Structure 1
Amino acid sequence: MEDKYIFSPVLIQVMLTLCLYIYLAVAKKKAVTLGQVNEERRALHDDAWPDGVLQINNCIRNQFEVPLLFYVLIGVLWSISAVNIYVQVAAWLFVVSRIAHAIIHMGSNYVPVRRRFFMIGCFILIGLTFYAGYELLAN
């Protein structure tokens, strides 16, 4: 498998984030149309929006926390020629965990289950970090 394919899960993660932005735009337009927005507070205060909009917004915010580390690690692993089948599988598992996390966040938003998928992603990143460190020191 070619190293460049490590960027496939990265693109899926980016697309997830972009889809959430589209969903947020639709939800905001609907909230404005239904008069559910405090127009005086809308520009500067999240609480001007209904809970459904805040839920999407929070999910998007999550896509710029741990996934940012994923982007950096994939770039590092690729740049030091440390991409192998295990890294590929780990990257895909990370993205699957993020998709599951987003689905739960947008659905039931049941925190104990959402946290499990968050932690799965974190453990994958910890493993990738140790592997990247090992590869840097070994070569």
Structure 2
Amino acid sequence: MGFGWVIPEVKNYERLTFRGNIKNFPSSTRAELMAIFTALIVMPTRSKVMIYTDSTCAIQNMKIIIKQINTREIWTKNKNPVILQMINDIVKEKRLKIICYKVKAHSGDKYNEIADSLAKIPGFIEGISNNFFEDTTISLNYNNIKDRSFIPI
């Protein structure tokens, strides 16, 4: 299952895009959360990050991180605890302020449409080359996750 994200043009910086795929038990929520996680990795420390997504489930999952609820709840009350814990760790490490917004799917929102295209089509999207990281794998090293009750394998 594919995922993609867009960081719009900001001041003197060009638009930045990323696409990837998840495997092993793919779900649309897991793909959305992986898009959020990979986008947060490239955010500057102490920045305010506004996440626009068409996934209500992803926003509900992110509320756990935003409200800074006990990390035990990540592991006991969620279907995607590994990705959520990794998001929680990167948010704390980089001291990010996260605000989530719901965007209606397929409503013509420019950046949501680009992200959806990235999730579906590898290669060239609207003249944007995304082949730089072709055949690169991002693996979540769950052995380094802190504050966990257990990791199912």
- Which structure's residues are more often helix, by fraction? 1
- Which structure's residues are more often strand, by fraction? 2
In our comparison, the structure showing a higher alpha carbon Rg is 1
